[in-house]
Amino acid sequence: MNIPDRQSIHGQWSSRWTFILAATGAAVGLGNIWKFPYLTGQNGGSAFVLIYIICVAALGIPLMMSEILLGRRGRATPIRTMKALATENNAGQWWQIIGWAGTLAGMLILSYYSVIGGWTLAYIVKSVTGTFTGATGDLAASTFNTFVGSASSLFFWHTVFMVITMAIVAGGVQGGLEKAVQYLMPTLFFLLLLMVGYSMTTGYFGKGLEFLFTPDFSKLTGSSMLAAMGQAFFSLSLGMGTIMIYGSYVPKDTSIASTSIMIAIADTGVALLAGMAIFPIVFANNLEPGSGPGLIFQTLPVAFGNMTGGIVFGSLFFILLLVAAWTSSISLIEPLVTWLIETFDMSRIKAALYSGVATWLLGLGTVWSFNLWADLKFFGLTFFDLLDFITSNLMLPLGGILMALFAGWLMTTDNTKAELHISNPLLYKTWQILVRYIAPVAVFIVLLNAIGVL
């Protein structure tokens, strides 16, 4: 089993633990703290959570192992990695499309993710200054609609978010990414636990736990099972090249299997802790847990505005959201930055500047889609909705399917065994079956559901 002695020109993580923090940071984002709670609320609570956890174990972990495996084997950008691995495994060069699609998807996602991240910055300021004190549902909705209706406000906060993101990325693997996650991830967990601690004082913590952890399978529908499957895939940031590029910085002696399991556990833990923090507050204020995407920016401000210590805990909550957004955003642009460095031999600072400006400019389309371009529709969708649909519903599932097929079928057994270091034949065979058969079919079903075929 010959392992090529490839080295990433961008450096590597100083330790396995740092990689776990970084990959968890890439996976943990607004999806865990913003999307997971409202999806849980809309799909029957704990029955949805149980299906979600099963999907993470059977779908998410094998796919994450595959993506890290590809990254460490290639030791380059996703584009160059797939080119090298296609040659090494006598596969067609068209497999490079995995790298191109992932790199492009990361940039497209960050362009609108930055705008939503900017919302969290603005809401920290609103919360600190007491905007939501004594707020009613109408006031919270009016505040949100006025805010997103202001092109200048969204422009400003989008710009601030992107500048800070690119400043971190410009620092490099150890000087920027590693330092950031070493501070941001412990901060995120501390803030989450603080919010859970507060929720314990609401008198509705037990009801929140019951909602999350007592299954009611009568509320489980086919669509909710597909939603759980889709959330498990997207929550781990799979299929967009971020885990692959982070995997290219992983030391040789790091166990991909155990590391993937730890990342999945941490990512799922954040989602569950977010639910434990949010639902008791929702129930204590007689709010609707299934109120959809507005749960964070319209429903919760009402709760924070009418509870003791609301300014403090509301501010902490939006700081928590901001930290989660940053840990994801720095990973989304990393494939593009490293591709510019490798292809044009430019400095990391220059590559970060070029990619950051291009992404920021594209993000203006999302900024204006809430106001100036609100009536401009592409196939019936706003610019923001179109980007979200193309990336989330098409590019990421297709990327995930192709990665699974390449790792499971195109790479030789010797090569995958050499990277995974799984000594137990049964465990290796289980991974192989999951990544060859179960994962591609499951993600394909998610894709069909997302585009409305199912």
pLDDT of residue 303: 87
Query: Which alpha helices (DSSP H) does 129-175 contain, by range?
Result: 137-148, 151-170
Crossing angle of helices 222-235 and 46-55, rounded to 10°: 50
Residue 321 lies in a domain: yes
Residue 35 lies in a domain: yes
Q: Which of 20, 97, 49 is nearest to 401 (CA)?
A: 97
271/282 Cα distance (integer angstroms):
16
pLDDT of residue 296: 83
Residue 73 lies in a domain: yes
Residue 5 lies in a domain: no
pLDDT of residue 5: 66
Q: Which domain holds residue 142?
A: 16-450
Residue 187 lies in a domain: yes
Using a 10 angstrom Cβ sphere, with 0-12 exposed, 13-18 middle and 19 or more buried, the burial of residue 361 is: exposed
Residue 93 lies in a domain: yes
Lookup result for tokens 């403090």:
312
pLDDT of residue 421: 87
Contact 44, 225 (CB under 8 A): no
Structure tokens at 184: 């941001």
Residues contacting residue 364 through CB under 8 Å, at least 6 positions apart: 155, 158
pLDDT of residue 158: 98
105/87 Cα distance (integer angstroms):
24
Question: 381 - beta bridge partners?
Answer: 378
**Per-residue pLDDT for the chain (454 aa), expressed as one digit of tens each?**
455 667 778 888 988 899 999 999 999 888 888 788 888 888 888 889 999 999 999 999 999 999 999 999 999 999 999 999 999 999 999 999 999 999 999 999 999 999 999 999 999 999 999 999 998 888 988 999 999 999 999 999 999 999 999 999 999 888 888 989 999 999 999 999 999 999 999 899 999 999 888 887 887 888 888 888 888 888 898 988 999 999 999 988 899 999 999 999 999 999 999 999 988 988 888 888 777 667 788 888 988 898 888 899 999 999 999 999 999 999 999 999 999 999 999 999 999 999 999 999 999 999 999 999 999 999 899 999 999 889 988 999 999 999 999 999 999 999 999 899 888 999 999 999 999 999 999 999 989 988 888 7
Residue 266 lies in a domain: yes
100/84 Cα distance (integer angstroms):
14
Query: Which alpha helices (DSSP H) does 309-438 contain, by range?
Result: 310-344, 348-369, 383-388, 396-405, 413-420, 425-433
Structure tokens at 188: 């995120």
Q: Which of 248, 323, 275 is nearest to 50 (CA)?
A: 275
Crossing angle of helices 256-284 and 16-27, rounded to 10°: 40
Q: Hey, CA dihedral for 335, 337, 338, 343, is it positive or negative?
A: positive
Residue 7 lies in a domain: no
CATH number of the domain within which 278 lies: 1.20.1740
Domain total for the chain?
1
C-alpha 348 chain-centroid distance: 24
pLDDT of residue 113: 94
109/399 Cα distance (integer angstroms):
14
Q: Which of 116, 118, 117, 144 is nearest to 132 (CA)?
A: 144
289/265 Cα distance (integer angstroms):
24
26/235 Cα distance (integer angstroms):
9
Q: Which of 186, 187, 126 is nearest to 157 (CA)?
A: 126
pLDDT of residue 223: 85
Q: Look at the chain and count its residues.
A: 454
